[in-house]
Structure 1
């Protein structure tokens, strides 16, 4: 009897996970190795001090996903096409957004591929001693194999296929980090203190705050929302479902990211250790929990990386399809050429043997600069009754949108200062 109950409970959990909508793409875009790297570096350097940034980013992300999703369902239009069609300088704005986001996401792809290849190398090196002298070659070959595999998968995929693969990676990632948290936890008081706003006044503090927002409030997540909602087959009848999906995605992003930061704070900050290389991320768990913890942690970080490669490769063709107001045709020549260029860009980091952690954090900072434009565009659109077919955007949603615009402007300014200090 008990076995039957357990089976039905497991079936229910699997059904919930598989029933998750376009929000799974939001998690794929948001929690990649970029996010994992930022959370780990922040946890190791500043304990839980940046939890407030994560909380606000996730709160505003939920509002923006909801606003963009509703816009898509009510008007039947995609976001950039809407900008081009309805706004005075919409065409220039849309092109600027495409260039800005593609630059940020392709940079991010370079870091993701570098970190994922390094993780696989570290796992192999633990088991095969002879590999330690061939790090560069192993990392580069691994990077080529990963990116070629993903490119071939892109050519056969449809929306539902990508969604299923992302569900698997995201679930593995979440479970791996929760298991890691079992081995090391931060102090509860530090978690509460982390919700009080403050920017660490140390070298790299501003950069990390900007990277945090760049990775958690990713413009790509909101802009692609109408396309993914459309890909799911949702219509104006699914407004309530769209709302729940946005809230669930925002809560899951906050939970998984917070757990990663907590693991890092518990394992590294109290030991006075910082993360500068990929192996630093997992080595710190080894004294506490042995080789198994390293494997579990690496598995989580690898799942995070692989769950981000699809969305990052998809972003440029998605935005261009959005601008042209077409559906994303994964069989078109345009799609194949753009994703092929993205694959080549991704290999630049591993080919030059660059430190993927630095590339990753820098790319997240660049993501911040397009954000105010993306928020401003949707504020104008959802408050235009003609565009929204007399559908009125609620007061709370508007407060959330204006607050997120103010937040994005402050963080962008902070990001500019951080970059001038870095270079």
Structure 2
């Protein structure tokens, strides 16, 4: 009898996880190794000082997911197609957004694959110590195998299939990081101080703030939402469900990201051991957190990387399909060619043996520059009475979107200064 009860509980939990909507793609886009890397570097270098940036980014992300999702359900149109059709200069805005986001996400993809391959290599190294002299060859071989497997999975080409794979990775990732937090955590006073706005007055502080926003307020998350909402088969009847899905996704992004930052802060910040390489995470976490917490944390980071490869490979064909017709055909020749080019692009960091963590931080900064355009475009659309009718944006949504636009402009300016200093 107790076994039957246990089975039914597990069935209910599994059903609950699998019932998660298009928000799972938002988590896949947002919490990849880019986000995890940014959180680890920030937590190990600045403690909890940047928690306020994360909180603001997640609030605005939830708001933008809600706005884009609502627009899609009310009008039946996707974002870039609507920009092109209804906005003055809409064609130019849409093309700039496609180029900006694709470039940012493909850069991200290089770092993601590099970090994931390095982590898998570190796991192999535990069991096969003789591989120590063959790091470059092993990491490259792992990266090639991983990207081929993901390309083959992409060829299956069904929304429901992508969603189920992402659910598995995101669940493993979330649980790994949250359980790690119970083993290594910062002081409550540090968490409270982290909610007070301040920018670290050290080299790289400004870039870190921009990278945070680039990874958490990812423009790709909002622009792809209409296509995923349509892929789920939702209509106007699902407006309430869409709102709940956006809120849950934003809350989970904050919870998981804050957990990563807190583990890095609790384990590494007070030791004075900032992370700059993938190996640093192993060498510094193990003595403080122990083998089990380290394994969990690495499993979470690997899941974060693998859960991001899918959305990053999908982004360029999604945006192009959105611009052309508002429909994504995963069996088209265009889809297969663009994703194949993205796979080859992803191998740049492993082939040249570059530092994937540095690449990740820079690519996250690049993501912030199209953000003001993405927010301004949806503000115009959701306030268009002809398109939205009685569902036109209310005062609170407009206040939130205006605040998000101001925040994104400040962060973009901050990102430009940070990149000029870097190069």
TM-score (norm 1): 0.98
1:304 and 2:330 are equivalent in the alignment: no
Equivalent-residue separation in structure 2 for 1:283 and 1:402 (angstroms): 44
Pairwise mapping of residues 24-173 of structure 1 onto structure 2 (< 5 A)?
24-173=24-173
Per the alignment, residue 411 of structure 1 pairs with 411
* Cα drift, residue 2 of structure 1: 4.9
Structure 1 residues 282-291 or 84-93, which shifts more? Answer: 282-291
Structure 1 residues 408-417 or 177-186, which shifts more? Answer: 177-186
Tell me how many residue pairs correspond in the alignment.
423
Per the alignment, residue 16 of structure 2 pairs with 16
Per the alignment, residue 209 of structure 1 pairs with 209
Give the match's secondary structure for 1:388. Answer: helix
Pairwise mapping of residues 368-379 of structure 1 onto structure 2 (< 5 A)?
368-379=368-379
Per the alignment, residue 271 of structure 1 pairs with 271
* Cα drift, residue 390 of structure 1: 3.8
Structure 1 residues 180-189 or 405-414, which shifts more? Answer: 180-189
* Cα drift, residue 159 of structure 1: 0.2
Structure 1 residues 276-285 or 217-226, which shifts more? Answer: 276-285
* Cα drift, residue 397 of structure 1: 1.0
Equivalent-residue separation in structure 1 for 2:68 and 2:224 (angstroms): 9
**Is the CA contact 1:44–1:275 (under 8 Å) kept in the aligned structure 2?**
yes
Equivalent-residue separation in structure 2 for 1:2 and 1:403 (angstroms): 52
**Which deviations, in whole Å up to 9, do the C-alpha atoms of 1:3-57 show, x marking residues without a partner?**
5444333322222111000000000000000000000000001000000000000
Equivalent-residue separation in structure 2 for 1:418 and 1:136 (angstroms): 31
**Which deviations, in whole Å up to 9, do the C-alpha atoms of 1:88-135 show, x marking residues without a partner?**
100000000000000000000000000000001111112211100000
Change (3 A) 1:326 1:67: closer
**RMSD value, Cα:** 1.0
Give the match's secondary structure for 1:286. Answer: helix
Per the alignment, residue 321 of structure 1 pairs with 321
Equivalent-residue separation in structure 1 for 2:295 and 2:193 (angstroms): 31
Q: Structure 2: state its 5+ residue gaps.
A: none
**Is the CA contact 1:282–1:297 (under 8 Å) kept in the aligned structure 2?**
no
Equivalent-residue separation in structure 2 for 1:213 and 1:79 (angstroms): 21
Equivalent-residue separation in structure 2 for 1:9 and 1:200 (angstroms): 46
**Is the CA contact 1:170–1:303 (under 8 Å) kept in the aligned structure 2?**
yes
Equivalent-residue separation in structure 2 for 1:49 and 1:288 (angstroms): 21
Per the alignment, residue 287 of structure 1 pairs with 287
Equivalent-residue separation in structure 2 for 1:299 and 1:224 (angstroms): 27
* Cα drift, residue 255 of structure 1: 0.2
**Is the CA contact 2:48–2:261 (under 8 Å) kept in the aligned structure 1?**
yes
Per the alignment, residue 336 of structure 1 pairs with 336
Equivalent-residue separation in structure 1 for 2:375 and 2:384 (angstroms): 15
**Which deviations, in whole Å up to 9, do the C-alpha atoms of 1:339-361 show, x marking residues without a partner?**
00000100011100000000000
Equivalent-residue separation in structure 1 for 2:282 and 2:209 (angstroms): 23
Per the alignment, residue 384 of structure 1 pairs with 384
TM-score (norm 2): 0.98
Equivalent-residue separation in structure 2 for 1:53 and 1:8 (angstroms): 41
Give the match's secondary structure for 2:385. Answer: coil
**Is the CA contact 2:267–2:289 (under 8 Å) kept in the aligned structure 1?**
no
**Is the CA contact 2:227–2:326 (under 8 Å) kept in the aligned structure 1?**
no
**Is the CA contact 2:78–2:226 (under 8 Å) kept in the aligned structure 1?**
yes
**Is the CA contact 2:329–2:335 (under 8 Å) kept in the aligned structure 1?**
yes
